[in-house]
Chain A
Amino acid sequence: MVKVADYAGGPTAWCPGCGNFGILIALKRALVELDIEPYRVLMVSGIGQAGKLPHYTKGNVLNVLHGRTLPAATAARIVNPELVVIAVGGDGDGYGEGGNHFLHALRRNHDITYLVHNNQVYGLTKGQASPTSDPGFVTKTTPQGASPPVYPLALAIAADGSFVARGFAGDTEHLAGLIKSGIQHKGFALIDILQPCVTFNHQNTYAWYRERVYKLDESTYDPTNKLAAFEKAQEWGAKIPIGVIYRKPRATFEEQFPALRKGPLVRQNLDPTEVARLLEDFI
């Protein structure tokens, strides 16, 4: 059995009290509860404080460029479907720099889990507005106040994401459950995580979130109803829902490729002489 200690990583460089700690705890817990050994996990992370997460636990790690987690992560999954692929990045990384990849990865439904540490601010560059900052959020680069935000969950539903969820870094138990469901989900699992930034975001604090977040109850809320989910995804203000907002089982990207039905690409023999039959086509 896998233990939490198996996922112990190096010393962290996050601020004390950072919401990232809650996410790290929840991720380890989910992996342990699913009994997944670290060597089977590939974490692909972007740039920002969130991108450092894989170094603070154990697993295979491919830390890439700002915004480019999804292309690298999805391709690794295509090559070896036995890898548990988890992409990790922040709101600037995923919804700003990597926005295009985000839409298309959802649309194609690659079988990976994507954790977005959404703190509504840029931490690594010290406090500028992010694509999810609340409207009017004043920073050094946006003295006029931030423009209206993107609603990542609404975007994801519009792109027909097959698993669209929101968690809260301040509720690790609930978040661990979501991450587990995301990993078990066959297809692209987006988990947008409300993550307080204790240094640069004095507006969306732990206290602010705690007052507002509420858990969706699946006995009364139907996450397969797309229109209802679309509305729920835009609920932001006095009440903020967490849980699975939308779920739609559908074929994954990998299922379309006949080559992948013959086992992982990574295990196939390479034989140049097989090309002989093609050479005849050119004569």
Chain B
Amino acid sequence: MELQATGSPQSDAKNYRKVKTLVNINLMIGGEAGQGVQSVGHVLAKTLARGGYHVFADQDYDSRVRGGHSFFRVRASDAEARAISEQVDILVALDKESIDLHQKELTKQGIIIFDGDKTKNTGENTSLFSVPLERLAQESAKNKLMTNTVALGAALGLASYDKRILSNVISEYFGAGDVGKANVAAATAGYEYARTNFKRDFRHNLTPIIGDGRRMLLSGNEAIALGALAAGCKFMAAYPMTPTTTIMEYLASKAKDFNIVVVQPEDEIAAVNMVIGASFAGVRSITATSGGGFCLMVEGLGLAGMTETPIVVVLGQRAGPAIGLPTRTEQGDLEFAIHAAHGEFPRAVLAPASVEDAFWLTIKAFNLAEKYQIPVILITDQYLASSYATVEKFDLSKVTIDRGLLLSKEELTKLGEYKRHQITESGISPRAIPLEGGTLVVTDSDEHNEEGHLIEDAETRTAMMRKRLRKMEGLRKEIAKPRVYGAAQAEITLLGWGSTYGAIREAVDLAMNDGLAINLVHLSEIWPFPVEATTRALQGAKKIIAVENNATAQLAHLLRAETGYQVTGKILKFDGRPLSPEHILKQLKQEVR
């Protein structure tokens, strides 16, 4: 792939697109936990987004506060960037380990920025570009800790990026005070050093795309938090757990402004039961956790099912079982989410395909939860939770809040006698809010009658089970069709779900460039399983290959159970790291060899 950028500050976005030049550059910042890898990574991503680029960034870190190895990858492109790339064009190595671990990922023309004063014995390597990071930090900012900012400046100097954008973003990030000024000075020092001292030919000339810098840059978790606010969520209870803690932190930071209460209780059992209590009392409520916490919430899930209390549970998967790899990604909990809790009751499981999808599916989760009075599980993973992507500003006029059959005081008065679990054709009973409706609302975790009082008789039990399960019929119609992408007459069909959409879709692009007739069938609304739509999407598929970030191909299993289709091949990754387009392509070539 030829990597070259033209375009100039004078050309407007429209003209630029006509030129159709492909910019696709990958930058990586590596270092120890505590060296500021994430903060400068985020500044880098934002700086590139502000210049009009599509950005995708992800982060990888050990489960520790100091030391170890962590990195932040930023991909910038003039076309939509949907996934990470395993190739690195500029590696900013804040320690020697970053060079040792990542130089194999460097492209032919790639450059490693490192501090030659600090890191010796790097061997013969023409890609190395030494920048006295620590010295420049000391000289420019009087602060050796700003090494990371110097390195950031050097990377953007190398790519001839607009340094004013960099300074602006740094000022916003670190503030206009002394810290911000020192960081701007540090970045400028690095930038100028690279401009002056880098004598070789660097192919990436990252000229900002003028007029296009109005996209949002946000993470999967931030998209979920914003989705919750837009959906009118008023209560969150959660116990901190990677990778979903930042949802709670974001909502807590907006609690005052948005009249929302965020509670950190003693454990996940309390969290889910609090959410049930809050929802029963009448507000939209959410909790967020990872697999281990979700295990503790399982009995609560059944309570929500039985009492028909709407709740939204975010399950950010990480590599299990048990503590597993606490800061790393996996898609190992799909079947668990679908089947969690004893007994049989309706639920929905939604798996956002991207950061943007995370926003809209969070809103849909709240609407489905209230409309069908069920628990809805929003299943993401560490990769999506902590990846950043540029998206067009959300069009809030498209947000609808559908509270279903939630009756007002007037409607309840008209109704006369109220039964919380009234048997209806749709299975959905009119819902009332205690106190607010003036009527008594009674529900029970035991099997109950229409009034909500506990019963033991077989007839009522059967009628109530049927009533609850009937809700699946309406719910099924709400589930979106799978996304289909790629060749119309495909020889190979890749099957995926959730956060891997971007990576698989880009793998399809790469494979089509290589001459393969290939397409993708991808599910992000998984339960109730869209049987008909998936069957239709797979009709005539010659070879179905499941691509999943787990060890046992859980969607393939579900597909077999629900449609009878059996996959012919599997590309599985369960090392705690996300799937990349390149990895999928490589595995695919082995599969079809």
Q: Taking A100-B266, A265-B235 as contacts, is the C-beta distance between A59 and B260 under 8 angstroms?
A: no
Number of A-B contacts (CB under 8 A): 196
Give A87's nearest chain B residue, CB to CB: B277
Which residues of A lie under 8 Å from residue B436 when comparing CB positions?
A: 80, 266-267
Interface string of B160-171 (1 = CB under 8 A from A): 000000000000
Q: Which of A14-22, A162-170, A269-277 contacts B (4 or more CB under 8 A)?
A: A269-277
CA distance in complex: A75, B435 (Å) = 15
B303 contacts A by Cβ under 8 Å: yes
Interfacial chain A residues near B452, Cβ < 8 Å: 61
Interface flag for A25 (CB, 8 Å): no
Report yes or no: B283 in contact with A79, Cβ–Cβ below 8 A: yes
Looking at the complex, which one of B275, B438, B441 makes contact with A75 (CB distance below 8 Å)? B275
Which B residues touch A175, using CB under 8 A?
none
B218 A259 Cβ-Cβ under 8 A: no
Q: Does B237 contact A (CB under 8 A)?
A: yes
A70 vs B267: C-alpha distance in the bound complex, in angstroms? Answer: 13
A82 beta carbon closer than 8 Å to chain B: yes
Q: Which residues of A contact B299 (CB under 8 A)?
A: 65, 68
Which of the segments A37-45, A131-139, A238-246 contacts the partner chain? A37-45
Report if A172 contacts B (CB, 8 A): no
How many residues of B sit at the interface, in one of the four size bands?
A: 35 or more
Decide: B229 and A273 in contact? CB cutoff 8 A: no
- For A71, the chain B residues whose CB sits under 8 A away are 237, 265, 269-274, 277
* Contact present for A279 and B393 (CB under 8 Å): yes
A104 contact set on B, CB distance < 8 A: 265-266, 270
- With A and B bound together, what is the CA distance between A58 and B441 in angstroms? 10
- B43 on the interface (CB 8 Å rule)? no
B226, B270, B434, B442: residue with the most chain A Cβ atoms closer than 10 Å: B434
Asked if A116 is at the interface of the complex by the 8 Å CB criterion, the answer is no
Query: Is residue B56 contacting chain A, with contact meaning CB distance below 8 A?
Result: no
Q: Do the beta carbons of A272 and B215 come within 8 Å of each other?
A: no
**B118 contacts chain A at the CB level, 8 A cutoff:** no
Please encode chain A, from 68 to 97, with 1 for each CB lying within 8 Å of some chain B CB and 0 for all others. Answer: 101111111111101100000000000000
- Tell me, yes or no, whether B397 is within 8 Å of chain A by CB: yes
Bound-complex Cα distance A55 to B259 (A)? 34
Instruction: Verify A59–B300 contact, CB threshold 8 A.
Output: no
Residues on the A chain within 8 Å of B454, using CB: 52, 55, 63
The smallest C-beta distance from B395 to any residue of chain A, in angstroms, reads 10
Instruction: Please give the distance in Å from B304's CB to the nearest CB on chain A.
Output: 10
Within 8 A of A (CB), among B210-244: 213-218, 222, 226, 229-232, 234-235, 237
Q: How far is the CB of A73 from chain B (nearest CB, A)?
A: 6
A10 to B363, CA, bound (A): 40
What A residues does B261 contact at CB under 8 A?
78-79, 257, 259-260, 265
Q: Taking the nearest CB of chain B, how far is it from the CB of A181, in angstroms?
A: 23
Which partner residue on chain B sits nearest A257 by CB separation? B261
Q: Report the separation of the CA atoms of residues A75 and B270 in the bound assembly, to the nearest whole angstrom.
A: 10
Contacts of B303 in A (CB 8 A): 64-65, 68
Q: Indicate if B336 sits at the interface (CB-CB under 8 A).
A: no
Instruction: Check A62–B277 contact: CB distance below 8 A.
Output: yes
Structural contact, A75 and B453, CB atoms closer than 8 A: no
A262: CB under 8 A from chain B?
A: yes
Residue with the greatest number of chain A CB neighbours at <10 A, chosen from B235, B270, B397, B454: B270
Are B435 and A39 neighbours in the complex by a CB distance under 8 Å?
yes
Q: Which of B272-303 contact A (CB under 8 A)?
A: 272-278, 280-285, 299-300, 303
Residue in B254, B259, B276, B433 whose beta carbon sits within 8 Å of that of A72 in the complex: B276
Q: Which residue of A lies closest to B215 (CB)?
A: A283
B440: which A residues are within 8 A, CB to CB? Answer: 38-39, 58-61
Q: How far is the CB of A5 from chain B (nearest CB, A)?
A: 15
A55, A75, A275, A279: residue with the most chain B Cβ atoms closer than 10 Å = A75
Q: Taking the complex as formed, is B480 at the interface, i.e. its CB lies under 8 A from any CB of chain A?
A: no
Evaluate contact between A79 and B282: CB separation under 8 angstroms.
yes
* Residue on A nearest B451 in the bound complex, by CB: A10
A207 at the interface (CB under 8 A from B): no
Are B269 and A68 touching (Cβ within 8 A)? yes
Distance between A6 CB and nearest chain B CB, rounded to angstroms: 11
**A283 near B216 (CB under 8 angstroms)?**
yes
Q: Are B259 and A265 in contact (CB under 8 A)?
A: yes
Which residue of the partner chain B has the closest CB to A62? Answer: B280
Closest to B432 in A: A60
Q: Is A141's beta carbon under 8 Å from chain B?
A: no
Q: Verify if B258 is at the interface (C-beta below 8 Å from A).
A: yes
Residues of A in contact with B, size category? 35 or more
Tell me the nearest residue of chain B to A107, going by C-beta: B266
Are A75's CB and B274's CB within 8 A? Answer: yes
**Nearest A-chain residue to B438, judged by Cβ:** A39
Query: Judging by beta carbons under 8 Å apart, are B230 and A275 in contact?
Result: yes
Contact yes or no, A76 B278, CB < 8 A: yes
In the complex, A276→B222 CA distance in Å? 14
Please determine whether B230 and A272 come into contact, CB atoms closer than 8 angstroms. Answer: yes
User: Interface digits, A154-182 against B, CB 8 Å rule (1 contact, 0 not)?
Assistant: 00000000000000000000000000000
A238 to B261, CA, bound (A): 47
- Chain A residues, CB < 8 A from B276: 62, 64, 72, 75
Closest Cβ–Cβ distance, residue B562 to chain A (whole Å): 30
Report whether B444 and A270 are in contact in the complex, using a CB–CB cutoff of 8 Å: no
In angstroms, Cα B285 to Cα A259, docked, is 15
Q: Kindly state the separation between the CA atoms of A77 and B435 in the bound complex, as whole angstroms.
A: 12
Q: In the complex, what's the smallest C-beta–C-beta distance from B540 to chain A, in angstroms?
A: 41
A82, B260: Cβ atoms under 8 Å?
no
Per a CB cutoff under 8 Å, which of B237, B255, B439 touches A39?
B439
Asked whether A76 and B280 contact (CB < 8 A) given A63-B454, A272-B396, the answer is yes
Give the nearest-CB partner of B400 in chain A.
A272
In the complex the two chains form, is A266's CB within 8 Å of B282's CB? yes
A188 to B222, CA, bound (A): 35
A237 within 8 A of B: no
Residues of B contacting A266 with CB < 8 Å?
234, 281-283, 433, 436
> Is the Cβ of A63 less than 8 Å from the Cβ of B446?
yes
Nearest B residue to A42 via CB reads: B434
Given A39-B439, A259-B255, A276-B396, the answer on whether A64 and B235 have CB atoms closer than 8 Å is: no
Query: Which of B216, B273, B394, B399 has the most chain A CB atoms inside 10 A of its CB?
Result: B273
If A60-B441, A272-B232, A275-B396 touch, does A100 touch B267 (CB 8 Å cutoff)?
yes
B443 contacts A62, C-beta separation under 8 Å: yes
Q: How far is the CA of A262 from the CA of B261 in the complex (A)?
A: 12
- CB of A279 within 8 A of CB of B394, answer yes
Q: Are A65 and B273 in contact, CB atoms less than 8 angstroms apart?
A: yes
A80-B436, A83-B435 given; A63·B444 CB < 8 A: yes
C-alpha spacing A63/B277, complex, angstroms: 10
Contact B256 A258 (CB under 8 A): yes
Closest CB-CB distance, B278 to chain A, in whole Å? Answer: 4
Measured in the bound complex, the distance between the Cα atoms of B396 and A276 in whole Å is: 7
A185 at interface by CB-CB < 8 Å = no
Determine the distance from Cα of A76 to Cα of B299 in the docked complex, in whole angstroms. Answer: 19
Q: List chain B residues, Cβ under 8 A from A257.
A: 255, 261
B79 within 8 A of A: no
Given contacts A62-B277, A71-B274, A278-B226, contact A80 B269 (CB under 8 A): no
Contacts A270-B232, A278-B229; A80 near B453 (Cβ below 8 A):
no
Chain B residues whose C-beta falls within 8 Å of the C-beta of A54 in the assembled complex: 442
Q: Give the distance in Å from the alpha carbon of A77 to the alpha carbon of B276 in the complex.
A: 12
B283 lies within 8 A of A101 (CB): no
7 sample A-B contacts, Cβ–Cβ < 8 Å, listed by A number: A42-B281, A62-B276, A64-B303, A71-B273, A75-B237, A282-B217, A283-B393
A-binding residues in B (CB < 8 A): 213-218, 222, 226, 229-232, 234-235, 237, 254-256, 258-261, 263, 265-267, 269-278, 280-285, 299-300, 303, 307, 363, 393-394, 396-397, 399, 401, 433-436, 438-446, 452-454
Which 9 residue pairs across A and B have the least CB separation, nearest first? A270-B232, A72-B277, A75-B277, A71-B273, A75-B274, A272-B399, A60-B434, A282-B216, A76-B281
